[in-house]
A and B are shown apart, each in its own frame.
Chain A
Amino acid sequence: MKTLMLGNEAVARGLYEAGCCFVSSYPGTPSTEITECAAKYEELYAEWAPNEKVALEAAFGASLTGKRSFCAMKHVGLNVAADPLFTISYTGVNAGLVICVADDAGMHSSQNEQDSRHYARAAKLPMLEPADSAEALAFVKLAYELSEKYDTTVLIKMCTRVSHSQSVVETDERMLPEQKKYEKNPAKYIMMPAYAKKRHPEVEARTKALTDWAETAPVNRIEEGSDRSFGILTSSTCYQYVKEAFGDTYPVFKLGMIWPMPEQKIKDFAAGVDKLIVVEELDGFIETHCKNLGLSVSGKDLFSNIGELSQNTVKEKLGKKAPAGVTIKEDIPARPPVMCAGCPHRSIFYVLKKLNLTVLGDIGCYTLGAVPPLSAIDTTVCMGASVSGLHGFVKAGGEETAGKTVAVIGDSTFIHSGVTGLINIAYNESNSTVIILDNSITGMTGHQQNPTTGYNLKGDPCTKIDLESLCHAVGIKRVRVVDPYDMETCQSVIKEELAAKEPSVIISRRPCALLKYVKHPGPICSDPEKCKGCKACMSIGCPAISMADGKAKIDATLCVGCGVCEQLCKFDALGAVNKGGTDK
């Protein structure tokens, strides 16, 4: 049956059809829906792991026991999972093991735009790169065949435009491969030096065998063109841009497997065209390979290694005219993402700013605390870096720094990799104050459960980690819980913990305002008679509040009635409808 599927949904369908039995992932845009969709198939066991390293190691364990297994992550997640990645390259697999990594060129929702293809080369693992949903599905099935035939973990590299584009796929039935058994094999699975030394040559031989396969593999295909002045070597979404721009004009070599790449086939293609052009996003990965083969090639001399490409870019950089549109002669104000109305993070950041603290931030919705008017965050690096960074900041900065600096980290991010930083704070005794913004969900990626929520990926109740006990257990004696909507208490607790001469954790606890089970009192209104136009309520950056004719105005379609702005109004102009306001 033909159906429209997101690239991510098609990966999940591929897992189902390939007889995959075990999926363990950590959410991250643009990879999240793969695991969410996989969880909808009853036949697959799927879970959210606390982080990507745990997910990959769990998937490796499942492969060892004889079940086809999988994990998905965003590009930066593969950094977290890199430790097991490089060594399971040596051990190989039992049943097939596939890792899907989704890059985010253009940084739609990421802190960097690293090119994950380098990992395939560095870890000596094959990597497939689909260009649409149909290929995503087919490549997952191919990945399991390659994984078992060549005794290797296989990487599938997605990107935002493949992950988050729907295109037409034809589905098939689920086929369960022959069941494999676990057999003890120390020389293959125990990577201590004596055994690992013997495995490394096997890895090199495997890459050689896969290079041979790549020479004739149908996924590396050449599409003929009428004009041989250019020959274009490309892959992934760039293939689509090239075909959109030029149709069948130039010969196109589309790589489905990005590592290892064929050698003779590329040389032959280059020999048949006047000029070899590589069209690829981010780094010149394919181009470098061509140069290593001694070929004369154009690539990053034409195309930027920053951001995404498009059909127009491809046309323009190859000297052809691209279509253009009309622009309005007007300054169009930007519309950056904002914290939602009622977001429990907003008031905490207001307090932190008011206290003029240095705030080491982390990865999640709360990164939005960095933008005006709150402007309350000083750093954002990677998952967990707020907590470990704070330790170094106050340890090296001394007592004066300790009283003026905090870390903020979400519940899911804290479990992902904040807890190890907290252990360091306790163990090496820095006078750090960590604020856990516990909104009882993984928010930014679209509401995924995590070990602190009490529910698993399938939505079933499960063991819930108690954050207070966890903090106590690692050696933090001072653990306080506050309601972020109560700003006065928040302020006094933060002051007390900063003044204390030992490490502390403040848990700011209130569920995400967008969670369905959260009941709100409903919109408040403003009283123009009482409003003096002082704009105190504007300092929290709530999208529901604006100024009209010098008075505060509440947008009733957005306001949920959290009451935070009411606490800022000295003139009692903001409040519930029954307080006598006049806004609609």
Chain B
Amino acid sequence: MMETKSIMIVGVGGQGTLLASKLLGRLLLSRGYDVKVSEVHGMSQRGGSVVTYVRWGDRVYSPIIDKGQADCILSFELLEAARYTEYLKPDGRIIVNSQQINPMPVIAGTASYPENLVEKLGALGIHVDALDALALAEKAGSSKAVNLVLMGRLAKHFDFTKEEWMDAIEHSVPPKFLELNKKAFDLGQSA
């Protein structure tokens, strides 16, 4: 029996984390896995810290990922990666957008944004893969395509074919933005 695999997608409300989980869920289901994708809606979406859980295997029970359980954390923002490391398995992997978005306590001057977080993450003994997804998204044509850049990067760690990814993207984004999103995905994968 296949052990349940877990990916945690974290970021800031409004960054498009839900699309990433939708796309991944669709892909895993098409491979015949039992899949659970868990989201939190409502108040946290207003610029707060947001978390989505994606789990798959022969039989998935819990819809949530607990501490020490995630095989991978896909983080849309640097501080959010640091916030959730506790959920990663000791040998897990963090794929992180190095973009920094200041939370309100930092904006208001009551807290400071920690420095050199990428290095500090690396010192934990986990695998850290950092990239400037915002710059790549802008290169693809829109700052809103950060999610597809990160999906492209994540794809390096899956054995899905290019066709399977493209099919999932086609079913998850509006036709108007399809080319832009495909380009963003490619940039993330090759960066």
Say whether A associates with B: yes
Chain A contact residues, CB within 8 Å of chain B: 2-4, 6, 29-30, 32-33, 108-109, 132, 160-162, 164-168, 237, 240-241, 243-244, 310-312, 322-340, 365, 368, 371-373, 444-446, 538, 541, 543, 545-547, 557
Whether A4 and B112, one on each chain, are in contact in the complex, defined by CB atoms closer than 8 angstroms, is no
A-B contact pairs, 26 of them (CB 8 A): A4-B37, A29-B43, A32-B41, A108-B42, A161-B63, A161-B64, A165-B39, A166-B35, A168-B29, A243-B61, A244-B61, A310-B62, A310-B64, A312-B66, A322-B66, A324-B86, A325-B92, A326-B90, A328-B85, A332-B82, A335-B47, A336-B103, A338-B48, A372-B108, A446-B41, A446-B42
CA distance A13 to B15 in the complex (A): 29
Name which of B113-121, B148-156, B159-167, B174-182 contacts chain A. B113-121
Tally inter-chain residue pairs, CB-CB below 8 A: 197
Q: Which residues of B contact A327 (CB under 8 A)?
A: 85-86
Q: Which residues of B contact A325 (CB under 8 A)?
A: 67-70, 85-90, 92
Whether B63 and A339, one on each chain, are in contact in the complex, defined by CB atoms closer than 8 angstroms, is no
Whether A330 and B82, one on each chain, are in contact in the complex, defined by CB atoms closer than 8 angstroms, is yes
Whether A335 and B85, one on each chain, are in contact in the complex, defined by CB atoms closer than 8 angstroms, is no
Whether B42 and A29, one on each chain, are in contact in the complex, defined by CB atoms closer than 8 angstroms, is yes
B54-65 interface bits toward A, Cβ cutoff 8 Å, 1 = contact, 0 = none? 000000111110
Q: Which residues of B contact A160 (CB under 8 A)?
A: 40
CA distance A2 to B106 in the complex (A): 45
Whether B125 and A237, one on each chain, are in contact in the complex, defined by CB atoms closer than 8 angstroms, is no
- Also in contact, A240 and B63, with CB within 8 A (given A160-B40, A335-B49, A444-B43): yes
- Also in contact, A165 and B36, with CB within 8 A (given A332-B79, A335-B49): yes
Whether A166 and B126, one on each chain, are in contact in the complex, defined by CB atoms closer than 8 angstroms, is no
Q: Which residues of A contact B35 (CB under 8 A)?
A: 4, 166-168
CA distance A387 to B112 in the complex (A): 39
* B9: Cβ under 8 A from any A Cβ: no
Q: Which residues of A contact B46 (CB under 8 A)?
A: 337-340, 365, 368, 444
Q: Which residues of B contact A3 (CB under 8 A)?
A: 29
Whether A323 and B42, one on each chain, are in contact in the complex, defined by CB atoms closer than 8 angstroms, is no
Nearest residue, chain A, Cβ from B32: A2
Whether B103 and A109, one on each chain, are in contact in the complex, defined by CB atoms closer than 8 angstroms, is no
Name the one of B47, B63, B120 contacting A167, with C-beta atoms under 8 angstroms.
Answer: B63
Name the one of A30, A167, A244 contacting B41, with C-beta atoms under 8 angstroms.
Answer: A30
Q: Which residues of A contact B121 (CB under 8 A)?
A: 328
CA distance A132 to B67 in the complex (A): 22
Nearest residue, chain B, Cβ from A167: B36
Q: Which residues of B contact A373 (CB under 8 A)?
A: 108
Q: Which residues of A contact B189 (CB under 8 A)?
A: none
Name the one of A108, A167, A335, A372 contacting B40, with C-beta atoms under 8 angstroms.
Answer: A108
| Chain A proximity of B99: nearest CB distance (Å) | 10
Whether A336 and B42, one on each chain, are in contact in the complex, defined by CB atoms closer than 8 angstroms, is no
- Also in contact, A334 and B103, with CB within 8 A (given A4-B37, A167-B35, A373-B108): yes
Whether B12 and A326, one on each chain, are in contact in the complex, defined by CB atoms closer than 8 angstroms, is no
B73-97 interface bits toward A, Cβ cutoff 8 Å, 1 = contact, 0 = none? 0000001101101111110100000
| Chain B proximity of A107: nearest CB distance (Å) | 9
CA distance A162 to B38 in the complex (A): 9
CA distance A389 to B12 in the complex (A): 35
Whether B38 and A331, one on each chain, are in contact in the complex, defined by CB atoms closer than 8 angstroms, is no
**Residue among B38, B87, B106 with the most chain A CB within 10 A?**
B38
Whether A333 and B61, one on each chain, are in contact in the complex, defined by CB atoms closer than 8 angstroms, is no
Name the one of B63, B108, B120 contacting A237, with C-beta atoms under 8 angstroms.
Answer: B63
Whether B62 and A109, one on each chain, are in contact in the complex, defined by CB atoms closer than 8 angstroms, is no
Whether A4 and B25, one on each chain, are in contact in the complex, defined by CB atoms closer than 8 angstroms, is yes
B107-134 interface bits toward A, Cβ cutoff 8 Å, 1 = contact, 0 = none? 1111111100100110011100000000
Whether A30 and B66, one on each chain, are in contact in the complex, defined by CB atoms closer than 8 angstroms, is no
Whether A335 and B25, one on each chain, are in contact in the complex, defined by CB atoms closer than 8 angstroms, is no
Name the one of B4, B48, B103, B143 contacting A557, with C-beta atoms under 8 angstroms.
Answer: B143
- Also in contact, A324 and B67, with CB within 8 A (given A2-B29, A338-B46, A545-B107): yes
Nearest residue, chain B, Cβ from A332: B83
Whether A331 and B66, one on each chain, are in contact in the complex, defined by CB atoms closer than 8 angstroms, is no
| Chain A proximity of B35: nearest CB distance (Å) | 6
Whether A240 and B48, one on each chain, are in contact in the complex, defined by CB atoms closer than 8 angstroms, is no
CA distance A322 to B86 in the complex (A): 13
Nearest residue, chain B, Cβ from A373: B108
Whether A244 and B42, one on each chain, are in contact in the complex, defined by CB atoms closer than 8 angstroms, is no
CA distance A189 to B105 in the complex (A): 57
19 additional A-B pairs beyond A325-B87, A547-B107, beta carbons within 8 Å, are A4-B35, A109-B40, A109-B41, A167-B34, A241-B62, A324-B86, A332-B114, A333-B79, A333-B103, A333-B112, A334-B111, A335-B48, A338-B48, A444-B43, A444-B46, A445-B42, A446-B45, A545-B107, A547-B109
Whether A108 and B89, one on each chain, are in contact in the complex, defined by CB atoms closer than 8 angstroms, is no
Q: Which residues of B contact A243 (CB under 8 A)?
A: 61-62
CA distance A241 to B83 in the complex (A): 23
Whether B85 and A444, one on each chain, are in contact in the complex, defined by CB atoms closer than 8 angstroms, is no
CA distance A165 to B25 in the complex (A): 11
Q: Which residues of A contact B37 (CB under 8 A)?
A: 4, 165-167
Whether A333 and B106, one on each chain, are in contact in the complex, defined by CB atoms closer than 8 angstroms, is yes
